[in-house]
Chain A
Amino acid sequence: MWEGLRAEIVFQLRLYRRNRGIFAFLGDRLLSERRVYQIASFDFYENRYEIQRDDRVAGEYSAEAEFLDAFFFLPETELGEIEAGGGLDAADYYLLARVRMMPVKIIAPLNIITLFSTKTVFTTPWVEAELKP
């Protein structure tokens, strides 16, 4: 970041409803999906770290540790509403999440190199989380 570079982290969230019974082979139904992009940069003039979310400044930090905590933290995000009733409960739903991190956010069209190098983008596997009632 001291060279003017920026970093990007993308939180990818998917909400599924389980398909049970004879239609289970069709797979679970994707109800909603949300991606949260956070871009971190260093402001040389103000001597502080800056986090942008959805093209707006979401936070400014002078301390490095504080900045890192904020950068790797997924802020409260609305993923959609779950239908109540109909014989369905929280166990019928689950969440998949993964994180894609670019230590150096490469601008287009130079970002094409991400297709050819595994060191430019780090992606976690999908992690499943159950919903709590």
Chain B
Amino acid sequence: MRVFHSSTTSVGLFVLVLIFILLIALIVVFSHQILINLARVDVQANIVAYVVAIAFPLILLGLIVFQIVRLIRDRATHKPGSRLKSRLIMFFVLIALLSSIPQALLSVNFVNSAINFWLEARIGEALRGGLSISLEYYRGTVENLRAFNRSSLMSYILEDLNRNPERLWKNVRTVNSEVQFIQIFNGDGSELLFRGEPRGRLRSPGTFDGRTGDLPKEDREDASILRNAAVYELDGGQYTVVVGRLMPEGFDSKASSLTESLEIFSQLNRYKRLFRLVLIFFYFFFSFPIFLLSILVSFLLTEEIIRPIVNLEEATRRVADGDFSFRILSRSADELSHLVGSFNRMVSELSHSREKLRQSEKISAWQEIAQRLAHEIKNPLTPIKLSAQRILKKYSADPGAGEFQKVLQASISSIVREVDNLNDLLVEFREFARLPMPRLQSVHLRELVEEVTQMYRNLSTEVIIDSSHISEDSVIRADPGQIKQVLANLIRNAVQAMPKEGEVSIRSAVVNKENRRFCRIWIKDSGVGIPEEIRGRVFEPYFTSKTEGAGLGLAIVERIIFDHDGNIWFETQEGVGTTFIIDLPLGSREGAG
């Protein structure tokens, strides 16, 4: 059975972090707009504002409550990892609180300081002073134009209107240098004279509806113009005299800024206590969901940390109970994942060792039986054979026995032949029982295969043996003699599985298995396949489906492969063929002979 390390938590964590970032982005980008919309009571509030303000924190609170309830239930049922989980969550919450409390205190303090700083009396005085200066300048200019246009000097200057207009303008500038233009209309509204700054020129007295005194300030994009109009009677005629000046560049915009600043200052000053409370409220309004989000993230993060530990704990328990097939899969690539990997390797090696031990025990048992059997059979065989030979010799020396001699000769020959067969069997037993430990060295697989297949190619022309798919640089770490025995056994079996004609193909490849590299060898025949009922006993000693042999061939093969720290198994299909697959450790090319 395998435990899959679920990625649900990782996805949840990813989604939460995404929401977290989105929320911060939302606050940064739209907070100004949200605040404006919230305050506009006469319009529908922005839906985003509602989500941020009410729904989102409520959802987060709901999720946190759900997680807390689940944790309490887990602790009550003593679920593995629940105690560690609750401690970790407490730790994370504590960290979140420890980091947010000073931040909140600092922010509140900063808001207070900022408000106090901006509402300092000096700033208010400076703003009012600035406004007062600008007003003074403005009113001074207006007063100056008014006084000049009403003065008796003006009547005197106007005497040059018809005689010498240039002298009139020169005199105006001499008497009052602040006047930048003069414009004179006669009684019917037609212009008689204009001198000075061209931008100050009025098209007709209709522009000011014949008003006199201070004319409304004219605001243009490039300038503001102040004018004063007065009516004079001269030589029986009536004239309207307009004098004026352009305000310095930027005066208007600066005056507007000053007024706006004073407005903001006055607002802040008037509602400063309320502002302070509101700003603090909004600090918590935006930071509370983030705080909740961080708690929720801590739940998922804890789950992420706990899960592999809980899995490991469960896996250890299962392995201790004898289930060596248990594995943990981890998709992450952190230290915990490495721990999981190490655990899996350890279980795999334990399983392998256990299998090897079991095999060794089995082999030892069979070795003991084989030795005892060999001993028990060997002892009476020699006297049987000697006795039979002696009887045959005596009766051969006295040939008068006739027909009896014939029968006796045939029988004793048969006894001797069968004793020889039994002897061969005993040799095989001994070989199995005394199989030496392999002397490992790096060898080229191709050379071993070629050596063995050559022999079988000579024996049979009907069966094709194809070993062309073995790479020339496939090097294994093995005892050449024993591996040749393995190959010979398997190839012989393959040839025998094909009564008439067929093909045996041998190929190899390098494979990775449990962080180790092996040379995998496939020996495939197109024979009759292995019947299902005997598949489980193929490697058992003294089991054979053939009429000859002791049934030790594949048992010896399996033992040799195990002694080489390798693996052997087969895949078969009746009527199609069988493939024996062997994994052997790779050797080094440098050491290969």
Contact = CB atoms under 8 A, between A and B. Distances in A.
A116 B38 contact: no
A52 interface: no
> Helix, strand, loop or mixed for chain A's interface?
loop
B271 A112 contact: no
B342 interface: no
A47 B274 CA distance: 32
A111 interface: yes
Contacts of B110: none
Contacts of A107: 263-264, 267
Contacts of A97: none
A45 B217 CA distance: 9
Given A3-B262, A44-B135, A111 B270 contact: no
B119 to A, nearest CB: 13
B255 interface: yes
Given A4-B262, A107-B263, A113-B271, A121 B41 contact: yes
Count chain A CB atoms within 10 A of each CB in B32, B260, B264, B271 and give the residue with the most.
Answer: B271
Given A5-B267, A45-B138, A108 B217 contact: no
A109 B267 contact: no
B54 to A, nearest CB: 14
Interface string B265-285: 111101100110110011000
B36 interface: yes
Interface in A73-120: 100, 104, 106-117, 120
Nearest to B274: A113
**Chain A: interface residue count, which band?**
20 to 34
Contacts of A12: 42
A20 interface: no
Contacts of B467: none
Interface residues of B, number: 31
A73 B278 CA distance: 33
B39 interface: yes
A69 interface: no
A64 interface: no
Contacts of A3: 262-263, 266
Contacts of A123: 41
Contacts of B131: 4, 44
Contact of B38 (A10, A115, A120): A115
A35 interface: yes
Contact of B282 (A100, A112, A120, A121): A112
Contact of A111 (B39, B138, B260): B39
A5 to B, nearest CB: 5
A100 B278 contact: no
A4 B216 contact: no
Given A113-B275, A116-B274, A35 B263 contact: no
A17 interface: no
Contacts of A4: 131, 259-260, 262-263, 265-266
A115 B39 contact: yes
A106 B267 CA distance: 7
A46 B216 contact: yes
Contacts of A116: 274, 277-278, 281
A17 B40 CA distance: 27
A12 B40 CA distance: 13
B3 interface: no
Contacts of A108: 32, 35-36, 39
Interface string B38-72: 11111000000000000000000000000000000
A26 B437 CA distance: 97
B393 to A, nearest CB: 128
Nearest to A111: B39
Given A3-B262, A45-B255, A112 B38 contact: yes
B255 A109 contact: no
B86 to A, nearest CB: 39
B118 to A, nearest CB: 12
Contacts of B278: 112-113, 115-116
A42 to B, nearest CB: 10
Nearest to B43: A35
Interface string B237-267: 0000000000000000001000110111111
A25 to B, nearest CB: 24
A59 to B, nearest CB: 14
B2 to A, nearest CB: 57
A45 B135 contact: yes
A120 B274 CA distance: 11
Contacts of A6: 263
A10 to B, nearest CB: 6
B284 to A, nearest CB: 13
Contacts of A112: 35, 38-39, 278, 282
Given A45-B135, A116-B281, A109 B35 contact: yes
Contacts of A113: 39, 271, 274-275, 278
Q: Which of B41, B277, B282 has the most CB of A within 10 A?
A: B41
A111 B217 contact: no
A4 B267 CA distance: 9
B217 A106 contact: no
A87 B255 CA distance: 60
For A4, A10, A35, A120, the residue with the greatest tally of chain B CB atoms inside 10 Å of its CB is A4
Contacts of A121: 41
A112 B41 CA distance: 10
Contacts of B260: 4
Interface in A4-33: 4-6, 10, 12
Given A113-B271, A116-B278, A5 B266 contact: yes
Contacts of A104: 267, 270
Contact of B39 (A35, A45, A100, A109): A109
Nearest to A106: B267
Nearest to A43: B259
A121 B40 CA distance: 11
Contacts of A46: 216-217
A106 B41 contact: no
30 contacts: A3-B263, A4-B131, A4-B259, A4-B260, A4-B262, A4-B266, A5-B263, A5-B266, A5-B270, A6-B263, A10-B42, A12-B42, A45-B255, A104-B267, A106-B267, A107-B263, A107-B264, A108-B36, A110-B267, A110-B271, A110-B275, A112-B35, A112-B278, A112-B282, A113-B275, A115-B39, A116-B274, A116-B278, A117-B274, A123-B41
Given A104-B270, A112-B282, 6 more contacts: A4-B266, A12-B42, A100-B41, A113-B274, A114-B39, A117-B274
Cβ-closest 4 pairs across A and B: A4-B262, A109-B35, A111-B39, A3-B266
